[in-house]
Structure 1
Amino acid sequence: MMTDDSNTASKCPVMHGGMTASGKSNTDWWPESLNLDILHQHDRKSNPMEDDFNYRDAVKSLDFAALKQDMLDLMTDSQDWWPADWGHYGGLMIRMAWHSAGSYRIADGRGGAATGNQRFAPLNSWPDNVNLDKARRLLWPLKKKYGNKVSWADLMILAGTIAYESMGLKTYGFAYGREDVWHPEKDTYWGAEKEWLAPSDNRYDDVANPATMENPLAAVQMGLIYVNPEGVNGQPEPLKTAAQVRETFARMAMNDEETVALTAGGHTVGKTHGNGKAEHLGPDPEAADVHEQGLGWNNHTTRGIGRDTVTSGIEGAWTTHPTKWDNGYFYLLFTYDWQLTKSPAGAWQWEPVDIKEEDKPVDVEDPSIRLNPIMTDADMAMIKDPKYREISERFYNDPAYFSEVFAKAWFKLTHRDMGPKSRYIGPEAPQEDLIWQDPVPAGATDYDVDGLKALIANSGLSIAELVSTAWDSARTFRQSDLRGGANGARIRLAPQKDWEGNEPERLKRVLAVLTPLAEKMSASLADTIVLAGNVGLEQAIAAAGFAVPVPFTPGRGDATDEMTDADSFAPLEPIADGFRNWLKQNYAVKPEELLLDRAQLMGLTAAEMVVLVGGMRVLGTNYSQQSFGMFTDNPGTLTNDFFVNLTDMQFTWKPLNDGSYAIVERDSGKQKWSASRIDLVFGANSILRSYAEVYAQDDNQQKFVSDFVKAWTKVMEADLF
């Protein structure tokens, strides 16, 4: 029986902890403590599927044609609880797919559509994603029907692509293969702001110079996908908005032509919604009460569906026929003069002057009513910015070319984070090689691996040279968008061959030795570099008295300059590599935080990160042969000495004036070794120390070697799909 006894809450028998809204987490208590959560995401315990479930296998058995037909039928099957504008859900589904894919940014490859993360906070409750929860709920019958054979991630992007097809666009294709996550992706940094839509000045050193936006961010404000549709900080001024659009789309891997095509193509169909009062909207999905059942922004005060829907606050369609793929966007943009007005919800928007009645779109519910079309400040930028205007005129005069460019740009937008073409699944996956896919030719597998190993072993290259070169080649891999890695041997091409972190002079010297060996054995250089690292590692293992083979999978190919978009690889350049004890410069972010970020992008667990760092130190692979963290008297030997000496209480650890640390013998006061912050964090952080102690144990020397080999192989083969 319920009671209003004020003492009841204090007698609650449930222990409230940091996992609820009532308790403090460790991070709250100790905000400066290193938070390893970034490496613990998507634990197996969060996944409801069986251990042996493989989505990429499951989706291959999907009835692709049946799902496509059901999706086409869905587009015009208007539901009373959330009616379709003009009886067609195309605009809504396109916006859902767009905003799912549009969170991608090239700086770290995070965001994007490949994991279905729009289902979870914070994205499911971003102001820019208002009412996209309704789109996902409309898709539920299809997800329910096809079940494990189609992921939410694939389903949401398919919905947008089929929406375009249903309205007349010849799309470029569609590929399945996106695997859902089951928990929010807390590794993604969306900005430091503590409020939605905080002024964009917070993200820039100078808001007038969009290039000064904080990295790795791409959107101009917290809670937006791209730019503020009303203008910079909500103040309409198309030329300033154009500058933000250009920088934002560039950070999402799009050039000017793709930017104009996507803006125009996205606004050729559908409409904005602002015919009501935003204050009547209820809480977002994450904040809504349980009776809302996961839906947010519900209007329980006045009518909030159909023509009275409020989403962005801007109200109106961009084109005369918003459910038809045509050139109407450019026709209206170039035919009429546009003036600033405000929507019923109070948002800035542009409307045409003296527009013909027949050029007005009809009301979403009553076709006898015609209303003014609208443009956002970003739309006006398409004709006010000189470069954008030139492209817009080209598209206006050549509708077929516009459709072709848009179709490819839409495919790029929705597939950019899926990795190489070899990961595409389904009958409509295009076969063409696209430069942004980072194509790599297949490599040979039938060469004499043992013969090549023997040549490498007798090459005169040191263990440190062999291991460091292989590591530098492989460490660029990002699990966020499946770019980088050793396959392709792009470490020998611009820009990677000149990256400071790759020690260009050392790299050039090593490649000069390995290249003729690869040619002699008809192997790819990519394979040879990895195999060379394995050879060095096996030598170090033997020196430690163990016989643990290092697995090797041949078949990597060598990319060419023509296969490489050099500019797009610039964001993959490491600014720090804690595994090799290197910082390009001093940053506001602590070195150990940068190490965690790199480890997470490489797909490593905390334990794998620990064992790799400890092994790399004793192998002597520090950048420029620096001695920091080489807690061993036998460099080049794969021992657990790093952990043994790190945890040995015969030493003390003293900070020095240059930011490094001295490892000093307690008895004699003599300095034994030197260390960086990254080295000492493995003894200072309680979680990392627990792993370090495992590898320091007398009975775990063999385990250390075996675990290092497993983690090393994972890094070397991360990009082999």
Structure 2
Amino acid sequence: MDGNDIGKCPVMHGASLASTFGGRTNKDWWPNALKVEVLHQHGARVDPMDPDFDYREAVKGLDFDAVKADLHALMTDSQPWWPADWGHYGGFMIRMAWHAAGTYRMQDGRGGGSAGDQRFAPLNSWPDNASLDKARRLLWPIKKKYGNALSWADLMLLAGNIAYESMGLKTFGFGFGRADTWAPGIDINWGEEGEWLAPSENRYEDLDDPSTMANPLAAVHMGLIYVNPEGVNGNPDPARTALHVRETFARMAMNDEETAALTAGGHTVGKAHGNGDAGALGAEPEGAGIESQGMGWTNPSQTDKADSLITSGIEGAWTTEPTKFDMGYFKLLFGYEWELTKSPAGAHQWKPIDIKEEDMPVDAGDGTTRTMPMMTDADMAMKVDPAYRAICEKFMADEAYFRDMFARAWFKLTHRDMGPRANYIGPDVPAEDLIWQDPIPAGPTSYDVDAVKAKIADSGISHADLIATAWDSARTFRGSDKRGGANGARIRLAPQRTWEGNEPERLDAVLAALEPIAADTGASVADVIVLAGNVGVEAAAKAAGFDIDVPFTPGRGDATDEMTDAESFDVLEPHADGFRNYAKNDLAISPEEMTLDRAQLMGLNAQEMTVLLGGMRVLGTNHGGSNHGVFTNRVGQLTPDFFVNLTDMAYSWHAIDDGTYELRDRATGQIKFTATSADLVFGSNSILRAYAEVYAQDDNAEKFVKDFVAAWTKVMENDRFDLL
């Protein structure tokens, strides 16, 4: 049997694992195709847990004290296959937790440590994450012991917390509740570069103006968490580096004081490893041989001594006693002058001039020999930049204040992507409400829901405006970091009340009618807004011949201006919303891609996205009253007309110079409807068309209504963490 026989081995030898069973993928053939699969990436087909498994319930039964005791023991249980610096894994575990949480960026809420993504590519193989595969293997016995009751996501971040506690810091607290995913996220844009550590110019319009870094990116290079520790593009210049540090940390929701605290507190413990040739290391985990079993960066010169480890190429500790959380970072940084030097691996770093021997840390391996401490360019930025220096001087004058500020900043770093405090589980959850948690008071539940609905129906506000207002209130929800949503009714506060996408004049008129109803009935404004949308949907369904009650659970609260960090909500503003056929001018990506992004952030799958968009079109909820995509002569009725007319071969579509499209009758040439690309993608994309055809069928009008209501309810209740 030769190579042409049909019985040959089906596996394509030499191909990458991703394409082993299929040769080239659809994305290889059609790289510009809409990535609908991002809406299905974490479904049941990849989850090995039982269908009724609920991690949030499982973790409540965890023996929290036992887990913490095991982690404390791990910190000083050095293993010869990866020896601990000074016999303590604290710095190593902190780096792992930091790099898990530190991928969070505020612009789209993606990244962060709440899903355990550091286990998967590309994060497990980023240059900045070198050797963290060993940290996770050190944790494996604990994960194995506690099993399903302890997720990797919780364990990795808890290990960082316990590391700090074991080295003398009183942490601010910890919240469990992060459920693992089981495949790498494919919805996160880490950058367009095709190589690790590509020059920073690829990410900036002007490298001297850090604010010009392309959104939503927050790191200066592909494969780094924050900034290049050797300086901008590897060129030492602390003053210039300070500008990039400020922008990078701001994009992960940190102000100057939090940034300085994290830098100092992060480098108060542990060390960097560059005592040798970093180029001699083996391939990263995803590129290593199968015998490596998922570990990478093999060091041919490694021994059972910590001083033989090589990771970043930078070498040395920042403080005299790197296993203690103390003020040593400030003592050395500000107590000495520093000069530029290079590590044994050839990396740029800074060393103190004429340092006293007693201020030098002992060797991480032998524990006796004194070694030279170091600072990175980012550390020197804390001394050189006037604002950072003033903050550090404030910390030096008040150690208790520094400890508290760092503990709070660390807590924010490791919890920012968990959303409101209602998502936190365990005995160490702080009682204090923090402004970055977007606090919302509990709302009333004892009012007469039917009476509220009756008043809304009699308000004189059109059904389309009721639906659009509820949608605009709820659509801000981001499953990425669990911010936004209808709960809190922040649509009535700055800055959301004036967002262009919310049609401020129309919104003011609707709120003027709904707010008195809330006051008269004892309901929250947030509940009334959602009920108003439900009233509109129910009326539209009835007009189409279907009596259906839209599910509703009272209890939303009303946030106040004092509970709202208005500036941080700017990133939630929709620059496009395909569900209302809205898009600002000069978008960098297409309206259909923006629709997909919005749907993914709201936690919708492709079927839910399809039915919602088609329904919103026939309900007449387009932004500004646009007729694009309104493929019906029965506007205001919840019918599947959008799909029926989209798939009707009696018509043909034609592109117009302004970027819109016309539907023309094939027989007469008469223009019947107009559309945008956000409409036509449901007929052109093969996956979305399959869903559209379901709703276009003659037997599925009732299914369409039921599916729309189910998806609508999901959007309205995305942020009801109080119901979990």
- Give the drift of 1:280: 1.4
1:13 pairs, out of 9, 13, 16, with 9
- Is the 8 Å Cα contact of residues 274 and 314 (structure 1) preserved in structure 2? yes
- The equivalent residue for 1:570 is 570
Amino acid in structure 2 at the alignment position of 1:416: R
- Is the 8 Å Cα contact of residues 80 and 304 (structure 2) preserved in structure 1? no
Amino acid in structure 2 at the alignment position of 1:375: M
Q: What CA deviation, in whole Å up to 9, does each residue of 1:329-373 have, x standing for no partner?
A: 000011100000000000000000000000000001222200111
Q: What CA deviation, in whole Å up to 9, does each residue of 1:575-612 have, x standing for no partner?
A: 00000001011223111111100000000000000000
Cα distance in 1 between the residues matched to 2:443 and 2:302: 64
Amino acid in structure 1 at the alignment position of 2:547: A
Counterpart secondary structure, 2:341: strand
Cα distance in 2 between the residues matched to 1:133 and 1:30: 34
| 1:513 corresponds to 2:509 | no
- The equivalent residue for 2:230 is 230
Amino acid in structure 2 at the alignment position of 1:20: S
- The equivalent residue for 1:590 is 590
Amino acid in structure 1 at the alignment position of 2:19: T
- The equivalent residue for 1:292 is 292
Cα distance in 1 between the residues matched to 2:6 and 2:438: 60
Q: What CA deviation, in whole Å up to 9, does each residue of 1:199-239 have, x standing for no partner?
A: 11100000110000000000000000000000000000001
- Is the 8 Å Cα contact of residues 501 and 574 (structure 2) preserved in structure 1? yes
Distance 1:588 1:712, change over 3 A: same
- Give the drift of 1:305: 5.7
Counterpart secondary structure, 1:603: coil
- The equivalent residue for 1:558 is 558
Distance 1:302 1:171, change over 3 A: closer
Cα distance in 2 between the residues matched to 1:293 and 1:683: 45
- Give the drift of 1:168: 0.3
Alignment of 1:307-706 (within 5 A): 307-706=307-706
Amino acid in structure 2 at the alignment position of 1:27: K
- Is the 8 Å Cα contact of residues 541 and 705 (structure 1) preserved in structure 2? yes
- The equivalent residue for 1:156 is 156
Alignment of 1:134-145 (within 5 A): 134-145=134-145
Amino acid in structure 2 at the alignment position of 1:443: G
Q: What CA deviation, in whole Å up to 9, does each residue of 1:487-513 have, x standing for no partner?
A: 000000000001000000000010000
- The equivalent residue for 1:57 is 57
Cα distance in 2 between the residues matched to 1:352 and 1:8: 69
Counterpart secondary structure, 2:699: helix
Counterpart secondary structure, 2:285: coil
Cα distance in 2 between the residues matched to 1:496 and 1:304: 57
- Is the 8 Å Cα contact of residues 301 and 308 (structure 2) preserved in structure 1? no
Amino acid in structure 2 at the alignment position of 1:28: D
Distance 1:51 1:375, change over 3 A: same
Which shows bigger deviation, 301-310 or 555-564?
301-310
Counterpart secondary structure, 1:699: coil
- The equivalent residue for 1:184 is 184
- Give the drift of 1:35: 1.9
Counterpart secondary structure, 1:614: helix
- Give the drift of 1:31: 1.7
Amino acid in structure 2 at the alignment position of 1:406: F
Counterpart secondary structure, 1:107: coil
Cα distance in 1 between the residues matched to 2:448 and 2:553: 13
- Give the drift of 1:19: 4.2
- Is the 8 Å Cα contact of residues 104 and 417 (structure 1) preserved in structure 2? yes
Cα distance in 2 between the residues matched to 1:514 and 1:325: 54
TM-score, length-scaled by structure 1: 0.98
Cα distance in 2 between the residues matched to 1:270 and 1:200: 28
- Is the 8 Å Cα contact of residues 280 and 302 (structure 1) preserved in structure 2? no
- Give the drift of 1:33: 1.9
- Identity of counterpart residues, as a percentage? 66
- Is the 8 Å Cα contact of residues 632 and 642 (structure 1) preserved in structure 2? yes
Amino acid in structure 1 at the alignment position of 2:164: Y
Counterpart secondary structure, 1:307: helix
Cα distance in 1 between the residues matched to 2:424 and 2:339: 45
- Give the drift of 1:666: 1.1
Cα distance in 2 between the residues matched to 1:302 and 1:481: 40
Amino acid in structure 2 at the alignment position of 1:497: R
- Give the drift of 1:302: 5.7
Q: What CA deviation, in whole Å up to 9, does each residue of 1:407-458 have, x standing for no partner?
A: 0000000000011001110001101000000000000000000000000001
Cα distance in 2 between the residues matched to 1:12 and 1:357: 70
Q: What CA deviation, in whole Å up to 9, does each residue of 1:465-496 have, x standing for no partner?
A: 00000000000000000000000000000000
Distance 1:305 1:8, change over 3 A: farther
Cα distance in 1 between the residues matched to 2:5 and 2:420: 55
- Give the drift of 1:697: 0.4
Counterpart secondary structure, 2:128: helix
- Is the 8 Å Cα contact of residues 651 and 663 (structure 1) preserved in structure 2? yes
- Is the 8 Å Cα contact of residues 298 and 304 (structure 1) preserved in structure 2? no
Cα distance in 2 between the residues matched to 1:10 and 1:534: 58
- Give the drift of 1:279: 1.8
Cα distance in 2 between the residues matched to 1:530 and 1:160: 40
Amino acid in structure 1 at the alignment position of 2:206: D
- The equivalent residue for 1:204 is 204
- Give the drift of 1:11: 7.1
Cα distance in 2 between the residues matched to 1:213 and 1:9: 54
Amino acid in structure 2 at the alignment position of 1:714: K
Cα distance in 1 between the residues matched to 2:614 and 2:625: 16
Counterpart secondary structure, 2:103: coil
Amino acid in structure 2 at the alignment position of 1:90: G
Which shows bigger deviation, 346-355 or 279-288?
279-288
Amino acid in structure 2 at the alignment position of 1:238: P
Counterpart secondary structure, 1:77: coil
Cα distance in 1 between the residues matched to 2:681 and 2:224: 36
Cα distance in 2 between the residues matched to 1:676 and 1:10: 47
- Give the drift of 1:6: 10
Cα distance in 2 between the residues matched to 1:662 and 1:423: 47
Counterpart secondary structure, 2:287: coil
Q: What CA deviation, in whole Å up to 9, does each residue of 1:508-538 have, x standing for no partner?
A: 0100000001110000000000000000000
- Give the drift of 1:707: 0.1
Cα distance in 2 between the residues matched to 1:233 and 1:672: 56
Distance 1:553 1:186, change over 3 A: same
Distance 1:127 1:60, change over 3 A: same
| Count of aligned pairs between the two proteins | 717
Amino acid in structure 2 at the alignment position of 1:440: I
Counterpart secondary structure, 2:510: helix
Q: What CA deviation, in whole Å up to 9, does each residue of 1:228-280 have, x standing for no partner?
A: 00000000000110000000000000000000000000000000000011121
Amino acid in structure 2 at the alignment position of 1:195: E
Cα distance in 2 between the residues matched to 1:27 and 1:34: 9
Distance 1:304 1:284, change over 3 A: farther
- Give the drift of 1:549: 1.1
- The equivalent residue for 2:25 is 25
- Is the 8 Å Cα contact of residues 304 and 310 (structure 1) preserved in structure 2? no
- Give the drift of 1:64: 0.5
Counterpart secondary structure, 1:323: coil
- Give the drift of 1:564: 0.1
- The equivalent residue for 1:128 is 128
- The equivalent residue for 1:247 is 247
Distance 1:394 1:195, change over 3 A: same
Amino acid in structure 2 at the alignment position of 1:13: C
Amino acid in structure 2 at the alignment position of 1:576: A
Amino acid in structure 2 at the alignment position of 1:380: M
- The equivalent residue for 1:111 is 111
Cα distance in 1 between the residues matched to 2:577 and 2:570: 16
